[in-house]
Amino acid sequence: MSKVDVSNSPSAPPSRRFGRLGPDDADRYAAHLLRLDSADRRFRFFKDVAEFLIHLHAGAAASDGRIVAVCEEGGEVRAAGELLVDPERPDVGEVAFSVEKDWRRKGLGCALMRELIDAGARAGLARLELEILPDNQAMLTLAKRFADKIETREGHLFAAIALPAAGVTPGRASAQSPGRDRP
Ligand SMILES: CC(C)(COP(=O)(O)OP(=O)(O)OC[C@H]1O[C@@H](n2cnc3c(N)ncnc32)[C@H](O)[C@@H]1OP(=O)(O)O)[C@@H](O)C(=O)NCCC(=O)NCCS
């Protein structure tokens, strides 16, 4: 994992750090996603995906160029946020989050959202989108803190977060268009 964006607060455990996943981190990322229970996997992937699909997802996410911001503690990934650019809408980044149960309500979801907002703005994206199941109250409440608009399409909620134009870096080098896999 690249050791960028270290943002420990004074009250955070000393081993907690924020960073980005790299290709060597696929197994640790898969281990994090596999610690989600079936209800949380459904919230994260919109169905309770099988273990081998989690491994496939983690391998792709760590190596296909998408941004995977993580919070690591004790050498394990405990929370993650992915940003994937839709090749059919190259100015839009689709984001999704996962925080393990014992690490929730500590601000990690919000911290990762802020990290992806900054990354998306630096990459020149116009907005981020977040797909949410209608019964996912936790994600919906978090999303409302950031979203400009939340609408319902085909039974799912979609939150849109407009990104600031200021400080835009020309080009989209850090948020590539890595394919149609979900973030
Ligand atoms: C949704 C999720 C990412 C939130 O992560 P988190 O680290 O707990 O979020 P934060 O601590 O940053 O919470 C920020 C705010 O969101 C809201 N929130 C978070 N969890 C909530 C819950 N269970 N119920 C109601 N509001 C909640 C609160 O307003 C909270 O602020 P507060 O703690 O000061 O009251 C986490 O619950 C999760 O991973 N769920 C399973 C997977 C999932 O749903 N992914 C989203 C698919 S895109």
Tens digit of pLDDT per residue, the chain (183 long)? Answer: 654 444 455 566 668 899 999 999 999 999 999 999 999 999 999 999 999 999 999 999 999 999 999 999 989 999 999 999 989 999 999 999 999 999 999 999 999 999 999 999 999 999 999 999 999 999 999 999 999 999 999 999 999 999 988 554 444 334 443 333 556
CATH number of 17-162: 3.40.630.30
Four-CA torsion 2, 25, 72, 105, nearest 10 degrees = 120
The CB of 35 under 6 Å from ligand 1? The reply is no
Residue owning the nearest CA to atom 36 of ligand 1 = 99
Domain boundaries, the chain: 17-162
What's residue 183's pLDDT?
62
Which among 32, 14, 53 is positioned nearest to 182, based on CA atoms?
Answer: 53
What's residue 108's pLDDT?
98
The CB of 138 under 6 Å from ligand 1? The reply is yes
Residues sharing a CB contact under 8 Å with residue 5, sequence separation 6 or more, in sequence order = 18, 19, 20, 69, 115
Report the atom number in ligand 1 closest to the C-alpha of 41.
42
What's residue 11's pLDDT?
62
- The number of C-alpha atoms within 13 Å of 171 and in the hemisphere containing its C-beta is 2
User: What is the Å distance from ligand 1's center to 45 Cα?
Assistant: 16
Report the atom number in ligand 1 closest to the C-alpha of 95.
48
CB atoms within 10 A of CB 126: 16
